[in-house]
Structure 1
Amino acid sequence: MKSIKVKSLPLGDVIKNIASELNTVFTEHCEEYVLKIPDEYGKGEIRGINFEGGLGILLYDCQFLEDLEIQFVVNEVHPLKFLYCIEGELLHRFENDTVEHNIKQFQEAIVASEKHNGHILRFKKNVKSKVNSLEISRNTFRNKISCNLKSVDKKLNDLFSDTLAKKTFYHEGFYSLQLSNIFDEMKNFKEEDFIRKLYLEGKAYEMLTKQILLYHDDLNDLNKTVLLRQSEIRQIKSAVAIIEDEIAKLDKIDIIASRVGLNVNKMQEGFQYLFSKTVNAYIQDYRFKKMQELLTNSDLSISEIGDLVGLSSKSYISKVFKDKTGTTPNQFRKDYKESMTKLRKKNL
């Protein structure tokens, strides 16, 4: 394993320090510092930028040929770090501790070291890792914020107020879709220089806002959390599969949510995010789509089709079709067959 020591702040100097340790060069554009990982160590890049008010962002997008440990050991109070693992994994421990925290894809961690103790980040070999780190110099940040933090949870309030780093702090969870969207927007932003710096500064404050809201949501019981996490998208997709596979005899929405490990509010938010509709609307639309498919590709009766899509009332099926198409199921089938016959004759 290769270890490098970073004994500098702010983030521009951090990038310079890492570049020196890796025997490579860095570039600077409008106070954003970038180093490319040398081929002998792996591939990728690390970016760093500081803003007025105590905020800064480090962006790691790299893959190393051997385990790489970055030891942040500057002899002063270290920034408060909000770590987001977008891809791969990251291992973190405090300089004065042997306990290692494994931060995996879609996870986030809030870390603050005690006194002048630093942070040790370890990247595993041959693992492509993308990590965003929002860094806050609490002393500078507190001087900028004139209002108090009474609306913030007491532990978080104490954390921001601990400008002398009297206590260690560690909290981990899964980052929200709101934060995921911010990361995507940052990655896709193409402007450079002053416009990019201004944009990233805005995103830094937006990240902090969404993170505080996420932390408050993390304090709720699991069945009462509201914000959808990026990791929960897979569970939403599992709910979709249940709906489509079991449409004939579908469980109630709360039971489906329970089966995939979500509460109803979370599942509703997920459907709104992925499909811009409620769960009920998705079910109704899928039933209609399935009915159309069976009407055009089978000779099943309307009642039989109703059984296959979970609708036992023939009159209700007719109402649904009338509302959607302005015609009855039988007329829809007839019109479809006639149009297909005409098309075949035309192509002869």
Structure 2
Amino acid sequence: MRTVYINTSSIKDIFNQLQQNLGGKLNARPQEYNLILDNEVASGVITGVCFKSRICFMEYDVTFKEDTTITSHTPINNPIHFMYCAKGRLAHSFGDEVEKHILNQFQTGIFSSDPSKDTVLFFEKDEQVRISNIMVDINQEGSSDENIDQLRDQLLKTFRPQNGANTFAYTGSYNLKIAEQMEQLAAISQKGLVRYLLIQGTVHLMLAMEIQQHKEDRKNTKNNFGSLTKDEMDDLRELSAFIRNYPEVQYNLKYLSSKSGLSPAKLQEGFKILHNRTVTDYIRNVRVETAEHMIKTTDLNISEIVYSVGLTSRSYFSKIFKERYNCSPKYYQDHQNALAATA
């Protein structure tokens, strides 16, 4: 087994130590790092970025060639770790403790401990793993941002060890919405300040989703947050993608139930968990978003766009478009054309 030992909380030093242990090519932007691996140790990429709010984000999208552990020892500012497994399977433990906390695909995990405990991540040989780790340093006090101070206070009360314990561990329900945010994060192509702000906004949204997931799991403990299995969640994710790709299909619950193999009740339950919407609301929202994109990127008129996204009533489309974007589709199209003419 290969062991990688990290003894710093500086994002720059973390990546330098990772490169020393794993090899690879290290690329650096201001406060953003990218370690590309393609050798006898591992293949894939490790990325990371830190913000002035003392929130750092790391993503591992790697396949190790042998069982590997990455141990982090940061006794001065031991952060709270908000983890999410988007692919594969990962195990976490505190130091040399025997107990391991398993994160399966689409599961969240929140871990914190007193400074005497290390954070250990276990990667199995030849298994591609993609995980995100948002690290929040709650020991830094007196920042210039009152909202950040309030966030730290709340996290300290909720996710730090309590009642004499020296560790806190939580593994949550399945959540596909965070995986979607990771995809959006990977798709950011802008550079400079715009890139930094987009990454920061997405990471903060992921953090909010993980905190909300913990809150909802606690609230619904008695109900076990529904009866959906991981395979059923996978089916729902594929079904959601199908609807996004083919908004013009005339959907109904019977058709979707037949296509997914899930009962109408489980469809509604799953869409509420994944998208916080009913099935009908989700379909309507996809159609409106697709239409908005078509208005910006095609020369089709409004009536053509309405039929292209599976709707039959232009007046109904205008109503739901205005509810979403606070203007009529015709107004939106006219102003897109005006902007194009002056560009």
Q: Under a length normalisation based on structure 1, what TM-score does the superposition of the two structures give?
A: 0.64
Query: Within the alignment, does 1:271 sit opposite 2:289 as a pair?
Result: no
The structural deviation recorded for 1:22 is 1.9
Letter in 1 for 2:137: S
Contact 1:80 1:135 in 2 (8 A): yes
Instruction: State the superposition RMSD in angstroms.
Output: 4.1
Report whether the alignment pairs 1:52 with 2:52: yes
Q: CA deviation at 1:194?
A: 3.0
Match of 1:170 in 2: 169
Matches within 5 A, 1:169-318: 169-174=168-173, 176-221=175-220, 223=223, 232=233, 234=235, 243-244=254-255, 256-257=264-265, 262=269, 266=273, 269=277, 271-272=279-280, 275-276=283-284
SS of aligned partner of 2:5: strand
**Mapped pair 1:71 → 2:71:** yes
Runs of 5+ unmatched residues, structure 1: 248-252, 279-323, 326-348
The answer to whether 1:35 aligns with 2:46 is: no
C-alpha distance in structure 2 between counterparts of 1:153 and 1:256, whole Å: 42
More displaced stretch, 166-175 vs 212-221: 166-175
Q: Does the CA-based 8 Å contact 1:42-1:64 persist in structure 2?
A: yes
Higher mean C-alpha displacement, 210-219 vs 123-132: 210-219
Deviation string for 1:166-215 (max 9, x for gaps)?
Answer: 73111111353442332121011111333222221122222222222222
Contact 1:150 1:157 in 2 (8 A): no
1:9 aligns with 9
Structure 2: where are the runs of 5+ without partners? 241-250, 287-311, 314-343
State yes or no: 1:136 paired with 2:136: yes
Identity across matched positions, percent = 20
1:20 paired residue number? 20
**TM-fit CA distance, 1:38:** 3.9
How many Å apart are 1:241 and its aligned residue? Answer: 11
Q: Distance in 2 between matches of 1:265 and 1:202?
A: 24
Taking structure 1 as reference, are residues 246 and 107 closer, same or farther at Cα in structure 2, changes over 3 Å only? closer
- Deviation of 1:105 (Å): 0.6
Give the conservation status (yes or no) of the 8 Å contact 1:76–1:116.
no
Query: 2:122 maps to which residue?
Result: 122
> Which residue identity is paired with 1:232?
M
Distance 1:264 1:187 in 2: 24
Count of equivalent residues: 270
Contact 1:12 1:50 in 2 (8 A): no
Structure-2 separation of matches of 1:161 and 1:102: 20
- Matches of 1:153 and 1:74 in 2, distance apart? 20
Whether the 8 Å CA contact 1:271–1:277 is kept in 2: the answer is no
State the distance in 2 between where 1:181 and 1:13 align: 29
Residues 212 and 108 (structure 1), Cα distance of their counterparts in 2 relative to 1, 3 Å cut? same
Q: Report the residue type matching 1:244 in the other structure.
A: Y
Is this contact kept in 1: 2:47–2:59, CA < 8 A?
yes
Asked whether 1:158 is paired with 2:157, we answer yes
Amino acid in structure 2 at the alignment position of 1:221: N
1:232 deviates by: 2.9
Aligned to 2:299: none
Letter in 2 for 1:275: I
User: Any conservation in 2 of the 1:31–1:50 contact (CA below 8 Å)?
Assistant: yes
Work out the CA distance in 2 between the residues paired with 1:209 and 1:138: 16
Question: Over residues 213-268 of structure 1, what are the superposed CA-to-partner deviations in whole Å (9 max), with x where a residue is unaligned?
Answer: 22211112265959x99973525879999823988xxxxx9x7416x794895598
Residue deviations 1:287-330, cap 9 Å, x none? xxxxxxxxxxxxxxxxxxxxxxxxxxxxxxxxxxxxx89xxxxx
Contact 1:107/1:174, CA 8 A, preserved across alignment? yes
- Whether contact under 8 Å (1:86, 1:106) holds in the other structure is yes
Cα distance in 2 for residues equivalent to 1:102 and 1:7? 24
Query: Equivalent residue for 1:293?
Result: none
Aligned mates of 2:168, 2:25 — CA distance in 1: 34
Using the TM superposition, give the Cα deviation of residue 23 of structure 1 relative to its aligned residue in structure 2, in angstroms: 3.5
TM-score normalised by structure 2 residue count: 0.65
Cα separation, 1, equivalents of 2:107 and 2:34: 25
**CA shift in 2, pair 1:176/1:236, >3 Å:** closer
**Within 2, Cα distance between the matches of 1:173 and 1:93?**
16
